Amino acid sequence: MQDLIYLASQSPRRRQLLDQLGVRHDLLVPAPGAEADAAEALEAVLPGELPAAYVQRVTALKLQAARARLKARGLPPAPILCSDTTVAIGRRILGKPADADEARAMLRALSGRSHRVLTAVAVGTARRGWAALSVSTVRFAPLDDVLIDAYIASGQPFGKAGAYAIQSQLAGWIPEVRGSYSAIMGLPLFETAQLLRQARVRF
C-alpha cells in the first residue's frame, strides 16, 4: 500500500479536492521554460477530435509525460495522478480562452443553454495505469454583456476551460447541474477514489 501520490497538475482546485479526500500528495509539475511549453502543447485539439476522445487523450499524454518527469528527476516511486477538463457544446470543444475576446465569445455561447463538462482522470505507476471519464451537464441562465464584461475584468475566465469556474460568482447564474460537482471543478472525487484504491493508495 502507498501513503503518497504525485499530482501532475498545477491546479489549486485539484489539490483542494485531494485534500478533501484525505490523500497525501506532492506536486510533480513541469519546470518553467521548455518543459512547461511542451506541457501546454499537449492540450492542442486534433482536427475533428470529439470532446471525450480529446480529454482522455490529453490525460493519457499528461500521465506519460509525468512518468518521464518522475524518472528524470530521480524521485521515489509512487502513483501519479493526472486529470484534464474540457467544456463542450455538442461536438465543439471550448478550451482555455487566449484573451478577453475569446472569453467573451465562449461565455456568450454558453449563455442561456446547457453544455457538457468532461473530466478525465488517470492514475499510473511505472507499469500499470487506470483511467476514468466523468461527464456532467451544466445549464446557464442568460448572461448579459454587462455581467460577462465584469466577469472578464475580474480575470476569472483565464486558465479555465470554457472561460468559467463553477465555484466562482457565475454560480449565481447556474440553475441546474447534473453529474459530479467535483468533476466540474476539475477532479471527479468518486472516480478518483476508485482509481486510487485500484492503485493500492491508502487514504
Q: Is residue 62 part of a domain?
A: yes
Q: Is residue 69 part of a domain?
A: yes
Q: Is residue 129 part of a domain?
A: yes
Q: What is the DSSP letter of 3?
A: S
Instruction: Report CA torsion sign: 105, 109, 110, 112.
Output: positive
Number of domains making up the chain: 1
**Catalytic: which of 26, 84, 101, 149?**
84
- Per-residue pLDDT of the chain (203 residues), as tens digits, is 889 999 999 899 999 999 999 999 999 998 887 676 677 778 889 999 999 999 999 999 999 999 999 999 999 999 999 999 999 999 999 999 999 999 999 999 999 999 999 999 999 999 999 999 999 999 999 999 999 999 999 999 999 999 999 999 999 999 999 999 999 999 999 999 999 999 999 99
137-162 pLDDT, tens digit per residue, is 999 999 999 999 999 999 999 999 99
Which among 131, 140, 161 is positioned nearest to 13, based on CA atoms?
A: 161
Task: State residue 128's pLDDT score.
Answer: 96
CA distance linking residue 17 with residue 21, whole number of Å: 7
Please say if 84 is a catalytic residue: yes
20-49 pLDDT, tens digit per residue, is 999 999 999 988 876 766 777 788 899 999
Q: Is residue 203 part of a domain?
A: no
Which cell goes with 194? 476508485
Q: What is the DSSP letter of 36?
A: H
Q: Is residue 156 part of a domain?
A: yes
Residue-number span of the structural domain to which 56 is assigned = 5-198
pTM of the model: 0.94
CA distance linking residue 17 with residue 113, whole number of Å: 28
First to last CA, the chain: 10
CA distance linking residue 160 with residue 71, whole number of Å: 29
Question: Where residue 80 sits, what CATH number does that domain have?
Answer: 3.90.950.10
Task: Give the gyration radius of the chain's Cα atoms.
Answer: 17
Task: State residue 31's pLDDT score.
Answer: 84
